[in-house]
Structure 1
Amino acid sequence: MTQGFGLSASARAALLQRLSRRRGGEEAPGPAESPGRDLTTLPGLRDIEMVREAGEALGLESPFFRPHEGVAGARTVIGGRPYVNFASYNYLGLNGDPRIAAAAKAAIDRHGVSASASRLASGERPVHGELEAALAANYEAEACLAFVSGHATNVTVIGQLLGPRDLVLHDQLIHNSVAEGARLSGARRIAFPHNDWRAAERELAAHRRRHGRALLVLEGHYSMDGDAPELAPFAELARRHDALLMVDEAHALGVLGATGRGSFEQSGVAPAAVDIWMGTLSKTLSACGGYIAGRRPLVDLLRHSAPGFVYSVGLAPPLAAAALESLAVMQAEPWRVERLQANAALFLALAREAGFDTGGSVGLGIVPVILGSSVAAARMAAALFEAGVNVQPILFPVVPERAARLRFFLSAEHDAAEIRATVAAMAAARDGRRRRGWPE
């Protein structure tokens, strides 16, 4: 932890001294493993241990991996206690909706729980094609293909489409799955400053001619910052420089646009301006998995060659049915999108009014509260948990230490009273921290 959790030099020294005394009281380790078999030296393990020990030394309970009892939506139950919950991607409140549960149960009765093998090997289930047709229609695309994992969708698709002679140009805050897909492909990878289409064009102008294919990748709605790119200029520059444009809609479907259709509806861009629409089924659509929508040759190629599809079990039929029903409810009940966006706008306005740094959030579903140090974020999360609010801190090294934050995911199921009470509790915790002299 090179930045010491945001502690002052004296506080950091005291913490390290406490950790040293704690280790000194531990039992002597057993016989040492040979270097190649010593799992305690795996990369990153020491950092995880340091974070855990630092939290214990500071008297902070880990906020991660808490078991939720029941459906985790706008409200949840943890350890038998009810909480207002801002740590769920259940944007439209559809996970737990009786209609979605009924669709999943009916699919189990008809097809069982699992697809049991890859779709190439074991054949299709009708619900797979129905889901893909509905998603393709949302993007006005020729075809769509559903995968068993959202993360694996980006990894296997980018890894399959590109090779060492190609170029992947992506936003510097792009999701890990895109970075991993680019690494797998062997293509040259260049990151441009966040949401800066002019910088992206400069990079394309400088490097495009040296490569066979070029893929420009951005997200429709960034989950860490709650902001969104200007889609139109990215589409224009991709076409101008003969590059494919791919947009990750994981947090955009159901959140952006007047009816939740995504970033193209929000920005007024024709969906055909984007070559590859990627999304996930685990947020708005109450399931698990990913999808690619686009032109038919692209989807046909992936259906027969993408390793993450061909060699992976097919999407479980009850998950496909849940996603299909969720999409249908989203389209039939646009008030859910309106309420989500109103809740996010209210939270954003109140948080800013209370003096919190919310970064570049556009207030459509995700609002970060940037606190500037991991200790401050962890302490704020602990104080809110004590007050009956569940929200996750995002700490170094996931974000730079100065950008440590709480990340609030809003839902259509939250109400104004809960949002006002949460911001008030956050302000009270901050003011209490200042009285105690804890670092900002």
Structure 2
Amino acid sequence: MTQNFGLSAGARAALLSRLSRRGTHAEPEAPAEGPGRDLGTLPGMRDLEAMRAAGAALGIESPYFRPHEGIAGGRSTIGNRSTINFASYNYLGLNGDPRVAAAAKAAIDRYGVSASASRLASGERPIHAALEAALAAHYGAEACITLVSGHATNVTVIGQLLGPRDLILHDRLIHNSVSEGARLSGARRIAFAHNDWQAAERELAAQRRRHGRALLVIEGHYSMDGDLPDLARFAEVARRHDALLMVDEAHAIGVLGATGRGLAEQCGADPGLVDIWMGTLSKTLSSCGGYIAGRRELIDLLRHTAPGFVYSVGLAPPLAASALESLRILHAEPWRVARLQANAALFLRLAREAGFDTGHSAGLGIVPVILGSSVRAARLAAAAFEAGVNVQPILFPVVPEGSARLRFFLSAEHSPAEIGQSCAILAAARDGAALLRAS
């Protein structure tokens, strides 16, 4: 992490200066490493030290890497204390469902814990094909491929499909994995204003003829803001300018649409408008990994050329089995989606009534509480945790300075009473901090 808690440039410089003077009265140091071996000069190292020093100076304990001592759903146990939990992607409460656990255990009994090799070599198992067929059917696509990491899926697929002569156009708030994939590809990369299809059109109109292939990338449900794009409009733009359209559904599957089928269902659009559907197995599908669904020729190419698939061990059989069973339950029990969406809508309404800025959240699964100051966000998260509500602060530079926030992930497992209690705790913590500042 490289957050600086919203410190001014002068305060940050003072912290760094103080850090640089540490140890001046300690035992003589060993001979200094050469610049090539000095880990203190690695990118981000000094910012990490400044962030830690700022947290200590402000009396804020780091909210990161807290161990959850059991299943993290609507509630979780942290430090032997039960908390209302808004920091997990367990949207439909399937992580811990006995049927999902049983599917994973059966796969272990049949195939073992690991695939033990890349699938191209000898890691292929029948459960892989079953999961991929189910995901392809979910999107009405011809085929699908699964990989061991959601982040690596975007990196390796975008990095493989595009090259230096090509163009990648993406939303300004796109996930880091897309940015890293674009960087790996060497393609020209242009970011357009968030959810602004007209800005995307202007960029494509100006740049398209200068490049060989073009890829337009958006997300189905943006994890920092909880909003969503106009799929039909972006699809029109892509087709008008002979570009491929890719949609990252990491936070959309199981969350958007009346039955959780994602952005296309939410927008009432044909899923065939999208050339590349990408998603992860680690959220609604309570597993780990990523997938790409699309035309058969695309999937066949990736199976034989994408480095993150060809040179990586195959998806662990119990993870494939748990994702497959979660997908089956998603389709069989749409009431889970309805409950999630009702919970998110309730949280959104109560947060707004309490005077919190929730941005443009659609209230479908993710609701930010935007506080502006990184210090304020960190302190409010600490106060909420002390009162039994676990929510993560999102600080600069993960979001732009001045837009630090608390990010609430809702679950079908939350009760209306827990949501009301949490909003009340948040408002009380905010008002208490305001009184302290006034005094």
TM bucket (normalised to shorter chain) is over 0.9
Kept in 2: contact 1:279–1:292 (CA 8 A):
yes
Aligned match of 1:86: 86
- In the TM superposition, residue 123 of structure 1 has moved relative to its aligned partner by 4.4
Corresponding position of 1:289: 289
Does structure 1 retain, via aligned residues, the 8 Å contact 2:381–2:390? yes
- Quote the residue 1:185 is aligned against: 185
Q: How far apart are the structure 2 equivalents of 1:82 and 1:326?
A: 26
Identity %: 78
- 1:82 maps to a residue whose letter is S
Q: Tell me what 1:226 maps to.
A: 226
**Cα deviation digits, residues 77-111 of structure 1 (max 9, x gap):** 01111001000000000000000000000000000
Residue by residue over 1:310-331, the C-alpha shift from the partner in whole angstroms, topping out at 9 and shown as x without a partner, is 0000000000000000000011
What letter corresponds to residue 398 of structure 1 in structure 2? V
1:15 and 1:369 map into 2 onto residues whose CA distance is 30
The secondary structure found in structure 1 opposite 2:22 is helix
Q: Confirm or deny that 1:104 pairs with 2:117.
A: no
Q: Distance in 1 between matches of 2:142 and 2:399?
A: 38
Query: What pairs with 1:29-428 in structure 2 (closer than 5 Å)?
Result: 29-428=29-428
Equivalent position SS for 1:170: strand
The DSSP-based 3-state class of the residue aligned with 1:427 is helix
Report the AA paired with residue 135 of structure 1: L
Q: Closer, same or farther in 2 for the Cα pair 1:340/1:438, shift >3 Å? A: farther
Question: CA separation of 1:4/1:159 partners in 2, compared to 1, >3 Å: closer, same or farther?
Answer: closer
> How far apart, CA to CA, are the structure 1 residues paired with 2:25 and 2:209?
60
Change beyond 3 A, Cα 1:270–1:33: same
C-alpha separation in 1, matches of 2:438 and 2:324: 49
CA distance in 2, matches of 1:2, 1:147: 29
Report the Cα distance in structure 2 between the residues aligned to 1:184 and 1:438, rounded to whole angstroms. 51
CA distance in 1, matches of 2:211, 2:350: 48
Give the conservation status (yes or no) of the 8 Å contact 2:118–2:124: no
Q: Given residue 270 of structure 1, which amino acid in structure 2 is its aligned partner? A: D
Moved more, 249-258 or 56-65: 56-65
CA distance in 2, matches of 1:49, 1:95: 35
Q: Report the alpha carbon displacement of residue 49 of structure 1 after superposing the two structures with TM.
A: 1.0
**Which amino acid in 2 is paired with 1:23?**
R
2:360 maps to a residue whose letter is: G
CA distance in 1, matches of 2:247, 2:401: 28
8 Å CA contact 2:391, 2:407 repeated in 1: yes
Cα 1:2–1:329 shift into 2, 3 Å: closer
CA distance in 1, matches of 2:277, 2:367: 24
Which residue identity lines up with residue 198 of structure 1 in the other structure?
A: Q
* Pair 37,421 (structure 1): closer, same or farther in 2 beyond 3 Å: same
Task: Say whether residues 1:27 and 2:26 are aligned partners.
Answer: yes
| Equivalent pair of 1:19/1:57 in contact (CA under 8 Å) | no
Shift of 1:5: 3.1
**Contact 2:147 / 2:314 at 8 angstroms: preserved in 1?**
yes
Size of the aligned set, in residue pairs, is 438
Kindly provide the amino acid, as one letter, of the partner of residue 288 in structure 1: C
- CA drift at 1:39: 0.6
Change beyond 3 A, Cα 1:435–1:25: farther
Give, in whole Å, the separation in 1 of the partners of 2:80 and 2:25.
34
Shift of 1:53: 1.0
- 8 Å contact kept, 1:19–1:53: no
- State the TM-score, normalized to the length of structure 2: 0.96
1:57 to partner: Cα distance: 1.2
TM-superposed CA distance for 1:23, in Å, is: 3.3
Change in Cα spacing, 1:13 to 1:152, as seen in structure 2 (3 Å) is: closer
1:9-58 deviation digits (Å, cap 9, x = unpaired) = 99x49984995699367736443111100111101011111111111111
Contact 1:5 1:401 in 2 (8 A): no
Once the two structures are superposed, what CA deviation does each residue of 1:325-368 show, in whole Å capped at 9, x if it has no partner?
Answer: 00000110000000000000000010011000111110000000
Contact residue 217 and residue 246 of structure 2 kept, 8 A: yes
- Unaligned runs of 5+ residues in structure 2 are none
The one-letter code of the counterpart of 1:87 is A
In the TM superposition, residue 8 of structure 1 has moved relative to its aligned partner by: 7.6
Cα deviation for residue 2 of structure 1 reads 11
- Which amino acid in structure 1 is aligned with residue 145 of structure 2? L
Deviations along 1:212-231, whole A, 9 cap, x unmatched? 11000000000011110011
Runs of 4+ in structure 1 off by over 2 angstroms are: 1-10, 12-31
Q: What is the alpha-carbon distance in structure 1 between the residues aligned to residue 149 and residue 130 of structure 2?
A: 18
Contact in 1 for aligned 2:303/2:310 (Cα 8 Å): yes
CA distance in 1: counterparts of 2:21 and 2:238, whole angstroms:
56
Q: Is the 8 A contact 1:150 1:281 kept in 2?
A: yes
Using a 3 Å threshold, how does the CA distance of structure 1 residues 79 and 261 change in structure 2: closer, same or farther? same
TM-score by length of 1: 0.96
CA-atom RMSD in angstroms? 2.1
Structure 1 residues 179 and 333, CA, compared in 2 at 3 Å: closer, same or farther?
same
> Aligned partner of 2:427: which letter?
A
Which amino acid letter does the alignment assign opposite residue 237 of structure 2?
Answer: L
Residues 3 and 247 (structure 1), Cα distance of their counterparts in 2 relative to 1, 3 Å cut? closer
Counterpart amino acid of 1:201?
A: E
* Equivalent residue letter for 1:79: G
**Gapped regions of structure 1 (runs ≥ 5):** none
